[in-house]
Amino acid sequence: MTYQPCSDRYKTMEYRRCGNSGIKLSAISLGLWHNFGDVNDFENSRNLVKTAFDNGITHFDLANNYGPPPGSAEANFGKILKQDFRGYRDEMIISSKAGYTMWDGPYGDWGSKKYLISSLDQSLKRMKLDYVDIFYHHRPDPETPLEETMAALDLIVRQGKALYVGISNYNAEDTIKAISILNKLGTPCLIHQPKYSMFVRDPENGLLAVLEKERVGCIPFSPLAQGLLSDKYLNGIPNDSRVATSGIFLNENHITAEKIAKISKLNDLAKQRGQKLAHMALAWLLRDARITSVLIGSSKSEQIIDAIQSLKNTQFSTEELVLINSILNN
Ligand SMILES: NC(=O)c1ccc[n+]([C@@H]2O[C@H](COP(=O)([O-])OP(=O)(O)OC[C@H]3O[C@@H](n4cnc5c(N)ncnc54)[C@H](OP(=O)(O)O)[C@@H]3O)[C@@H](O)[C@H]2O)c1
């Protein structure tokens, strides 16, 4: 049957302006790092995208290497777009990235013009798209001149293969340099994608201040610390969890007694706020006006619905914020 998106999909979602740009992003965005590869159930992947779109999520984040195998998340997303979203491309913000190892040899990794241009061409073919909305350099390259990498992003926009560009995993210092080069080239940096959650606070050490000053958007990835910031690991490792099913980027060694003690205290506070811990973890990021959107992952449709619940309460009292910091720092 032909998919008909929910007609009131834009009623409850919040849309936030991305830095100093014309683009607004849904406060919750869906990332396709896990659960969209050839190793996953395609019908489940398809339902995840539909559930997200039905609930007002407009932004879908990919990268050349998402899978496994690398590239398969883009190919599967392309299939989903073709099957279900034919008339809806203009309602979606689709991003991809290059920067991590993608193919053998010296031209399939890091930040050369050669790699970025050819990788995006491959991504567009896999997704069967003419352009992506946002193209990111996925991680800084210590060897390639930043001028070359940023010039490649600028060229990609001028070629019409991306509408906007962003950077990911860049520290504050390199971010200032990248923004300045892009400004001179006339292709402003739309957005930065850092790892940021209650458990990973690095962006607070300068990066967020830079983004605020430069009026560049911010979309934290792994806002639930890959699922740790939920109640799911409190009583062991469920069979359907990322630790049990993937175990590559999140494994048993990450679930220490010390972490569980913190998660348990955070869970108690969330309950006092009338939220689940997953809601509170997303709300805690979204309370900050510098955050454009939080980039979640999801293995089940219910988790997407759940994430949206976090928007009901993104206010925190000073006492709550102090308590959260004391739980995290002890
Ligand atoms: N730029 C970069 O370098 C970079 C790096 C990593 C990720 N990203 C982007 O960020 C996106 C999100 O990353 P992530 O998947 O690590 O995000 P996350 O939101 O921190 O973790 C998502 C995982 O947590 C679990 N989960 C989600 N909602 C839950 C809930 N309500 N209750 C309990 N568990 C829940 C699910 O795993 P299970 O159900 O399987 O346990 C889900 O797949 C990626 O898809 C990608 O687009 C970017």
- Hey, whose CA ends up nearest to atom 15 of ligand 1? 297
pLDDT at 1: 76
Q: Which of 25, 34, 94, 207 to mutate to test the pocket of ligand 1 (most atoms within 8 A of CB)?
A: 34
Whether the pTM exceeds 0.95: the reply is yes
How many Å apart are CA 330 and CA 326, to the nearest integer? Answer: 6
Atom of ligand 1 nearest to the CA of 304: 28
Atom of ligand 1 nearest to the CA of 279: 31
pLDDT at 88: 98
Q: Is 33 near ligand 1, meaning CB less than 6 Å away?
A: yes
Q: Is 66 near ligand 1, meaning CB less than 6 Å away?
A: no
Atom of ligand 1 nearest to the CA of 246: 40
Q: What is the pLDDT along the chain (330 residues), one digit of tens a residue?
A: 789 999 999 998 999 999 999 999 999 999 999 999 999 999 999 999 999 999 999 999 999 999 999 999 999 999 999 999 999 999 999 999 999 999 999 999 999 999 999 999 999 999 999 999 999 999 999 999 999 999 999 999 999 999 999 999 999 999 999 999 999 999 999 999 999 999 999 999 999 999 999 999 999 999 999 999 999 999 988 888 888 888 788 888 888 899 999 999 999 999 999 999 999 999 999 999 999 999 999 999 999 999 999 999 999 999 999 999 999 998
pLDDT at 245: 85
How many Å apart are CA 154 and CA 152, to the nearest integer? Answer: 5
174 CA distance to ligand 1 centroid (A)?
Answer: 26
- Scan for tokens 């809601």, then name that residue: 279
How many Å apart are CA 327 and CA 235, to the nearest integer? Answer: 19
Q: Is 241 near ligand 1, meaning CB less than 6 Å away?
A: yes
Name the helix (H) or strand (E) containing 31: strand 28-31
pLDDT at 108: 98
26 CA distance to ligand 1 centroid (A)?
Answer: 17
Q: HEC states along 50-112?
A: HHHHHCCCCEEECCCCCCCCCCHHHHHHHHHHHHHCHHHHHHCEEEEEECCCCCCCCCCCCCC
Q: Is 193 near ligand 1, meaning CB less than 6 Å away?
A: yes
Q: Which of 224, 263, 302 to mutate to test the pocket of ligand 1 (most atoms within 8 A of CB)?
A: 224
Q: Is 298 near ligand 1, meaning CB less than 6 Å away?
A: yes
Q: Which of 64, 72, 228, 296 to mutate to test the pocket of ligand 1 (most atoms within 8 A of CB)?
A: 296
